Amino acid sequence: MDPVERCGHVAIAGRPNVGKSTLLNRLLGQKLAITSRKPQTTRRNLLGIDTDGAHQAIYVDTPGIHGGLHRALNRAMVGSAKAALAQVDLVVMLLDRDRLVQGDKIVLRELRRVRKPAFALINKIDLLADKSRLLPTMAWLGGTGLFAEILPTSALRGEGVETFRSLVFRCLPPGPHLFPTDQLTDQSERFLSAEIVREKLMRRLGDELPHRTAVAIEGFKEAPGLVHVQAQIVVESPGQKRIVIGRSGAKLKSMAREARLDMERLLGRRVMLDVWVKVRSGWSNNPASVAKLGVGAS
C-alpha cells in the first residue's frame, strides 16, 4: 500500500436505479445509504467515508441524473448531483450491464462538461449469464475518451469492487485525511433516521406514490439507552394519506415497526418511534417546500 497519505472526494454518478447506493454500502462494508428497486430513491448527496491506512476516499452518493425535470423535486435532485460532479477529484459513472440508454448519454454529457478524471463501472454483471455481452459496451465507453478505467462489477455481490477500490485509492491526491479513521459519514443520526423511514415507504408503496412522499423528523430526543423519534410522513393528497396508512392503520404500523428495528441497529439503543402522515398539497412542485424537506441539499 502506498505510504503517502492521500485523501479525495469521489462522486458516484449515473442515471436512476443503476446501483449507486448499493455500491456505496458495499464499499463501506455496512448499510449507510437506503436502497430500493424504484428509481430516484436517493434524493440528496450523501457522504460515505472509506479509510484504509494512509488512504481516505470520501464518496459522494448522488441522486440519479435524468431528463424530464418538470417538477421542483426532480430539479433539486439533479441539481444536487450536478453540483457534486464539479466539486470532486474523481467521478465514477455507473451503468447497468449492456443496457446503454438515453439516460446514460445525459450523464456522459455532464462528464464532458465538468472535465474531471473518471472511471466507468458496468454494474449488475451478476445478472448476465454471458459476460461477453459487455464487450461492445466497454469498447463504446473506451471510444468516448472520458474514462481512465472501465471495470465490470457487481455491487450487490461484491465482484470487482476490491479492484475498483484499490484503483480509487491510487488516484486520490496527496493530502491529509479530512475525517477521523472510524467516521463513516458526515450526516446526523436524525437525517439517517428519516432516510430509514423513507426507505420503508419506497419499498412498500406503488411505483408512483413514493415520489410524492417525504419524511421530516419533528423530534429526536435522547435519554440513557433510549431515543424518542417523531417522524412526519408528508404526502400530497388525502387519497395518498389513506394509502400510506392502510386499512385500520396496518400498513403504517408495519412500516414503522420495520423502521424502528433498523434505527435500533443504527443507533445501538432502544428506539421509541412515533409516525404520522400529513397532507401538504403540491409540495413536490414547490421549491420552498422541497428545500424545507431537505431534498437536493448536499
Do 212 and 77 belong to one domain?
Answer: no
Model pLDDT, residue 110: 93
Of the candidates 298, 281, 287, 292, the one whose C-alpha atom is nearest the C-alpha of residue 73 is: 287
Mean pLDDT of 155-161: 96
Instruction: Give the mean model confidence (pLDDT) for residues 50-56.
Output: 97
3-state secondary structure the chain: CCCCCEEEEEEEECCCCCCHHHHHHHHHCCCCCCCCCCCCCCCCCEEEEEEECCEEEEEEECCCCCCCCCCHHHHHHHHHHHHHHCCCCEEEEEEECCCCCHHHHHHHHHHHHHCCCEEEEEECHHHCCCHHHHHHHHHHHHHHCCCCEEEECECCCCECHHHHHHHHHHHCCECCCCCCCCCCCCCCHHHHHHHHHHHHHHHHCCCCHHHHCEEEEEEEEEECCEEEEEEEEEECCHHHHHHHHCHHHHHHHHHHHHHHHHHHHHHCCEEEEEEEEEECCCHHHCHHHHHHCCCCCC
- Mean pLDDT estimate for the chain: 91
Q: Are residues 153 and 262 in the same domain?
A: no
Residues 11, 149 within the same domain: yes
Residue 68 forms part of a structural domain: yes
Read off the pLDDT of residues 118-131 as tens digits, 9 standing for 90 and up: 999 999 999 999 98
Q: Is residue 1 part of a domain?
A: no
Instruction: Examine residue 231 and state whether it is found in any structural domain, yes or no.
Output: yes
298 has a pLDDT exceeding 60:
no
Q: Please report, for the domain that includes residue 254, its CATH number.
A: 3.30.300.20
Cβ atoms of residues 146 and 113 within 8 Å: no
Measured between alpha carbons, how far is 106 from 88 in angstroms, rounded to an integer? 19
Residue 157 lies in a domain: yes
| Distance separating the N- and C-terminal Cα atoms of the chain | 32
Task: Note whether 160 and 205 are same-domain residues.
Answer: no
**CATH number of the domain to which 98 belongs:** 3.40.50.300
Structurally, the chain folds into a number of domains equal to 2
Could you tell me if 203 and 287 lie in one domain? yes
Domain limits for position 223: 189-292
Rounded Cα distance between 34 and 25, Å, is 9
Q: Which of 121, 142, 171 is the last residue in one of the domains? A: 171
Residues 108 and 40 in one domain: yes
For residue 180, being part of any structural domain is answered with no
- 157 and 222 share one domain: no
- pLDDT at residue number 150: 97
pLDDT digits (tens, 9 = 90+) for 57-91: 999 999 888 887 778 888 888 888 999 999 999 99
Co-location of 151 and 26 in the same domain: yes
Is 183 among the domain residues? no
Q: Which of 117, 145, 171 is the last residue of a domain?
A: 171
Q: Are residues 61 and 159 in the same domain?
A: yes
Strands 6-13 and 55-61, sheet pairing = parallel
Q: Is 160 left (phi over 0), alpha (psi -120 to 50) or beta?
A: left
Which position has the higher pLDDT, 91 or 296? Answer: 91
Do 130 and 251 belong together in one domain? no
Kindly state whether residues 214 and 116 are assigned to the same domain.
no
**Residue 179 belongs to some domain of the structure:** no
Residues 94 and 204 in one domain: no
Question: Mind listing the pLDDT tens digit for each residue in 258-273?
Answer: 999 999 999 999 999 9
Establish if 297 belongs to a structural domain: no
